[in-house]
Structure 1
């Protein structure tokens, strides 16, 4: 069977080759019914675009770079899967850099500067990353997703982490859990800083100040959280409920409670953040705040594609609402609207 060409697609769909090209580039100036006819023709013929030829014509690589941190946190593979799906749907390919070291960001930014990739998505950005700041200063096409940096002149897509932390606080307060602690993260990381701020502020507004010794920072790992959990829960002044700024931290605190013989949820409530799939496992059963990962990924990719085409459009920071998923670690106590 002959390989289908864009000319064949145009003939089958009853459109011009220019229209086929616009659909393949995911451009906006195509009527939806026309776009659907082209997409149907693409599926019918199994058409595979010549990405190398297209890149040469458009002076673009057709590659989107993604910089992420450690993949030991299951949240990031889930986010990467969603980003990869959206990048593929846009007719592009993904190049991935995975590390917590600034050197990886430097290599990724150099890839844009050398036209090896067309734009970059950062999932674990921090304000101390010099390569990121250099890229922004040079007005390279950059989108931050998941983590944000205040006042940085680039597009950013996050969930509303302050509101998410407040959701947990209001839930604890509604059920009389006023002796609380918050565990995890570092102030340089926007997600942990904002989630902690939303949580502590909601309690402060009710006249309840969470003491410093109950606001514990630690790395985003199970082992670090378990160590902090043993210290926090092993004291005579242990809390009745603990909010952890991500699910891995919550799992570590949960294991610490188990080791100390503290019954969850009868004696201690625990809630996490991200709602990774493991949180719903029967043996874990963790109440958690869910982020809309698919929506975050779609908007991040769509925004970057637009930024690549139009460098001078206004920057945006879109925050998505989060949702509290109640499970056994808080006794399935209902959340109030």
Structure 2
């Protein structure tokens, strides 16, 4: 049976170094790590995960909770998180929100099945999340944040992004506009709505209640809402959706009703890769999702190794990206 001593002899390092490759690989130089990993592969050495976890009190596993994998925003975030965590020697377990996914993730922390959890779906009504943070569990929130929660959080300038959409529409003469938002308990939808609606009102073109909608972050719900808007005699000149998936639904409704984009502009939020495809050409607010994911992964790794550090909040700026869904009009 191959042991860690055999790996150490072949790699020309100590057994302690072999152990560090398995428990804290980020602390070693890439050359040393590569030499030990090559020796492991040559000898066919497979560490016993259970024994390793008992010895180090670490599983080298991170949990990630996402809202909806059919929304292209989340696979993009997951891709970047996986890259960053894999480089640091951690595996990733994914929970897709719905049912008891938050509960399952927090239970995994309590049972030491994971070393920490990254939430992309946190809401302020999660009692379990609050309890886990009070126990100093390693948790980072990305994308959606919760005010007053004492943990590391990574977000983008949602309020400013919403205000930028309002300025762009008004600067181009679009004054009769609608807003289609997501869940009201999600910070992202709430902040984007606030920035947009407040700026519209500040500039003298408040959005009436019958042009404001909230529901799920859903393509189908957005398409249904858009159909109702398009059936009105006073249909809007433009619609701002709280994310790109919803904007795709609005664009599909426009196509189904044979209404050209110049008659009713559509703007989304996120700038997922699909937004730039010719079939969508979506004007949208770009938040740097991959940079946010990298920052969140690094913050969680630091939190695991330095649990006593004060919590941090990182806020990334956003940019309005103009494309064909608003006729490529100048800002």
- Whether 2:228 is the aligned partner of 1:226: answer no
CA contact under 8 A between 2:23 and 2:60: conserved in structure 1? Answer: no
CA contact under 8 A between 1:20 and 1:38: conserved in structure 2? Answer: no
Q: d(CA) in 2 for partners of 1:334 and 1:26? A: 49
The match for 1:332 is 328
Q: What is the aligned length? A: 324
CA contact under 8 A between 2:76 and 2:290: conserved in structure 1? Answer: no
CA contact under 8 A between 2:61 and 2:93: conserved in structure 1? Answer: yes
Q: d(CA) in 1 for partners of 2:205 and 2:48? A: 59
> Structure 1: 5+ residue runs without aligned partners?
none
Alignment of 1:3-22 (within 5 A): 5=7, 9=11, 18=17, 21=20
Give 1:246 deviation, angstroms. 0.7
Alignment of 1:133-172 (within 5 A): 133-172=130-169
The match for 1:122 is 119
The match for 1:208 is 205
Alignment of 1:27-176 (within 5 A): 27=26, 35=29, 37-38=31-32, 41=35, 50=47, 52=49, 54-101=52-99, 103-176=100-173
> Structure 2: 5+ residue runs without aligned partners?
none
The match for 2:269 is 273
- Whether 2:187 is the aligned partner of 1:190: answer yes
Deviations 1:283-305, CA, capped at 9 Å, x for gaps: 21111122212211111111111
Bigger Cα displacement from structure 2, 170-179 vs 137-146: 170-179
SS at match of 1:5: helix
Change (3 A) 1:20 1:290: farther
Give 1:24 deviation, angstroms. 7.2
Bigger Cα displacement from structure 2, 149-158 vs 174-183: 174-183
Q: d(CA) in 2 for partners of 1:178 and 1:166? A: 14
Cα root mean square deviation, aligned? 2.7
CA contact under 8 A between 1:9 and 1:20: conserved in structure 2? Answer: no
Bigger Cα displacement from structure 2, 17-26 vs 322-331: 17-26
Q: d(CA) in 2 for partners of 1:166 and 1:246? A: 15
Q: d(CA) in 2 for partners of 1:282 and 1:65? A: 35
CA contact under 8 A between 1:165 and 1:195: conserved in structure 2? Answer: yes
Bigger Cα displacement from structure 2, 19-28 vs 246-255: 19-28
Q: d(CA) in 1 for partners of 2:288 and 2:109? A: 28
Q: TM-score, normalised by structure 1?
A: 0.86
Give 1:26 deviation, angstroms. 5.3
